[in-house]
Structure 1
Amino acid sequence: MKAGLFLLVALLLAGLLVACAPVATLNALAPGNTHTVTAGVAYGTGPRQQLDVYKPARAAPRGGWPVVVFFYGGSWNRGQRADYAFVGEALASRGILTLVADYRLYPQVRYPDFLRDCAAALAWGLVHAGELGGNPQRVFVMGHSAGAYNAAMLALDARWLQPTGHKPRELAGFIGLAGPYDFLPMTNPDAQPVFFHPDYPPGTQPLEHAGKAAPRSFLAAAREDSLVNPQRNTQGLATKLQSLGVPVTVKFYDRVGHMTLIAAFGAPLRWLAPALADVADFVNGPPGA
């Protein structure tokens, strides 16, 4: 009885945290002794072509820390890297050098210009990983929601990294959280103009680009997600990649939704789902596992 009451109260508090200034709270409660941060590093010439670097406080292993380049969500309409300091801290606390990148948003740009920004940020990470203390052979691309779409496109479709002089095969892995990978026709009114609804350009769906050369992948979602259907998108992409022989780890979490999945990376909410631990295990695991 007491355990059930405690869980109920904890869930109510979690809901309150997420509903009321969630990122400000999560960032304010993020530990400060797990990392150092270098903010506002330019990967391009525009004001939104910048990233923040989160270095683990622990000593780097031989060869350097693994590296994650992270892209946030927001229907390609909203978001800023400072809001996701709690993600940078979370990953750095697990010994992962983390780059949290901004990219241009609608209405400044539409598809595919934000992918070009993300490709430039990822290329910057590939080039500079070693000098930052990271391992250039262990660079992962990661995103949540719309950011997971961006990450998937870079990992699966070589045309975006190609102008930067890089290829998806250089990546050690792809991590997608609650990503939209097969979403046409679009129903989200915020995202519709980003993709020229109803006149969608060809080749916009990550599922179309899944191939045998895809990097090993970690795909996760809330079991119940009212914004991005987890069966169609997460399970659909996982099934396609697995059918091609690509190593895929798939996780579905209870007690979280679309937004609380990424909020569970914040120190006060990690009890909601073991997403951080699972991602860290994937990143730190042996290649091809």
Structure 2
Amino acid sequence: MAWTIGGILAVVALAAIALQIAIARDGPAVLSAVDRVSGGDGGAELKAKITTGDHPDQKLLIWGPKERPTLDHARPVLLFVHGGSWNSGDPESYDFVGRAFVERGFIVALAGYRLGEAGQYPGMVEDVAGAFAQVREQISAYGGDPEHIVLAGHSAGAYNMMMVALEEKWLRAHSLAPDAISGIVGISGPYDFLPLDSDSTKAAFGHVEEEQALKATQPINNVNGDAPPMLLIHGEEDTTVGLFHSKRLSRKIQAAGGTATLSTYPAMSHTDPLISIASPWRNRRDIVDQIATFARYVKAQK
């Protein structure tokens, strides 16, 4: 019996290690697969795939409830922007985000943007602004409220959507302003990363040679008191994007008269908050409920 129990424990340990390796290699796709097996569909389904530009990375995936939406009860909308160091990632790997928040009463839009050389600054920011404009224009057809759209993003995606929220010119190109955004959820985001000291930041921003223009690429340098309300989530053990990014941004937003809530997690790394959105982890942690509560609350305060 002891050998049998030991063997089972060894298999479980090996399975856990294998899962961690798989997540490291293609985390979001693995999370989506685990989520689907562990949590089922949550009553959610992919409603549409919308092209937002000429490049294959420019797309929106719309997730909603299986039942037909009622026209007199539009759902709040969560527009989620994936990470990946501005050189990788695909919204089609983030089904778990759609299922998690549709189950909690939202319509979810997963946004893609140009990556690598094609998406060098400002391309990736322009694409997220364009995605927001498309969602605002089309989401009512899927049961979403175009007046209640919360922007969320992880890592590089958090940077992209934060720039859209803080610097007016990106939405102005679509005849919109940042006050069209109900709220912002930044997860493990980089907001203050000068000087450029990593391969990913150099690849995405290194072509910006003029010093003032480079400074303008930083969310921390575009803060104003009129920004939409923010929820900033960050793991204290994040060695990829340090906690100081969210701390500095929240302090500066508050000093400017804006609203920024910082939520930190002592034992979490860079990807742990994202993993917490997938089943079975989301039932053991409060991140999904925290985001959902914030996203509903900002509508009432707008």
* TM-score above 0.5: yes
Q: How far apart are 1:55 and its partner, in Å?
A: 0.6
Letter of the structure 2 residue corresponding to residue 44 of structure 1: G
| Distance in 1 of aligned mates of 2:15 and 2:254 | 38
Alpha carbons 1:78, 1:105 under 8 Å: kept: yes
| Paired residues of 1:255 and 1:273 also in contact (CA < 8 A) | no
Structure 1 Cα separation of the partners of residues 224 and 15 of structure 2: 43
Task: Provide the TM-score with structure 1 as the length reference.
Answer: 0.89
Rounded to whole Å, the distance in 2 between the matches of 1:158 and 1:265 is 30
1:266-281 matched pairs, under 5 angstroms: 266-270=278-282, 273-281=285-293
Q: Residues 205, 44 of structure 1: CA spacing in aligned structure 2 closer, same or farther, 3 A cutoff?
A: same
Of residues 171, 174, 183, the one that matches 2:181 is 171
Distance in 1 (alpha carbons) for counterparts of 2:243 and 2:31: 25
Partner of residue 224, structure 1: 237
Cα distance in 2 for residues equivalent to 1:14 and 1:129: 39
Take 1:139 and 1:15, find their aligned partners in 2: how far apart are those partners? 38
Shift of 1:19: 2.8
Match in the other structure for 1:249 = 261
Larger Rg: 2
1:177-196 equivalences under 5 Å are: 177-196=187-206
What residue is the counterpart of 2:47 in the other structure?
38
1:44 CA displacement? 2.3
CA distance in 1, matches of 2:71, 2:260: 25
Structure number having the greater helix percentage = 2
Q: Shift in Å at residue 95 of structure 1?
A: 0.9
Supply the distance in 1 between the matched residues of 2:275 and 2:283 (Cα, whole angstroms).
Answer: 11
Q: Report what 1:17 is aligned to.
A: 19
Shift, 1:180, TM fit: 0.5
Aligned-partner Cα distance in 2 for 1:273–1:63: 29
Residue 7 of structure 1 is matched in structure 2 by none
Contact residue 64 and residue 102 of structure 2 kept, 8 A: yes
Aligned to 1:5: none
Aligned-residue offset at 1:17 = 3.0
In structure 2, distance between residues paired with 1:15 and 1:208: 41
Segments of structure 2 that go 5 or more residues without pairing to the other structure are 1-11
CA distance in 2, matches of 1:155, 1:137: 15
Q: Select which of 192, 197, 212 maps to 2:225.
A: 212
Per-residue deviation, residues 104-147 of structure 1 (Å, max 9, x unmatched): 01122311011111111011111122222111211111100000
Note if contact 1:87-1:265 (Cα within 8 Å) is conserved in structure 2: yes
DSSP-derived class of the 1:277 partner: helix
Q: Specify which of 95, 101, 115 is matched with residue 105 of structure 2.
A: 95
- Could you tell me which amino acid in structure 2 is paired with residue 250 of structure 1? L
Asked if 2 retains the 8 angstrom alpha-carbon contact of 1:54 and 1:88, the reply is yes
Q: 2:297 maps to what in 1?
A: 285
> Aligned partners of 1:144 and 1:196: how far apart in 2?
22
- Tell me the equivalent position of 2:9: none
For 2:4, the equivalent position in structure 1 comes to: none
Greater alpha carbon shift after TM alignment, 139-148 vs 33-42: 33-42
Q: Partner residue of 1:55?
A: 64
Structure 1 partner of 2:31: 26
Q: Share of identical aligned residues, percent?
A: 31
> Which deviates more, 114-123 or 194-203?
194-203
Aligned partners of 1:174, 1:127: CA distance in 2, in Å? 19
Please show how residues 126-165 of structure 1 align to structure 2 within 5 Å: 126-165=136-175
Aligned pair in 2 of structure 1 residues 288, 16: CA closer, same or farther (>3 Å)? farther
Q: Which runs of 5+ in 1 are unaligned?
A: 1-9
Deviation (angstroms), 1:247: 2.0
Q: CA deviation at 1:265?
A: 0.4
How many residues are treated as equivalent by the alignment? 280
Q: 1:239 to 1:126 in 2, by over 3 A?
A: same
SS in 1 for 2:96: helix
One-letter code of the match for 2:30? T
TM-score normalised by L of structure 2: 0.85
Moved more, 186-195 or 72-81: 186-195
Indicate how the Cα distance of structure 1 residues 11 and 166 shifts in structure 2: closer, same or farther if over 3 A, else same: farther
Work out the CA distance in 2 between the residues paired with 1:11 and 1:156.
45
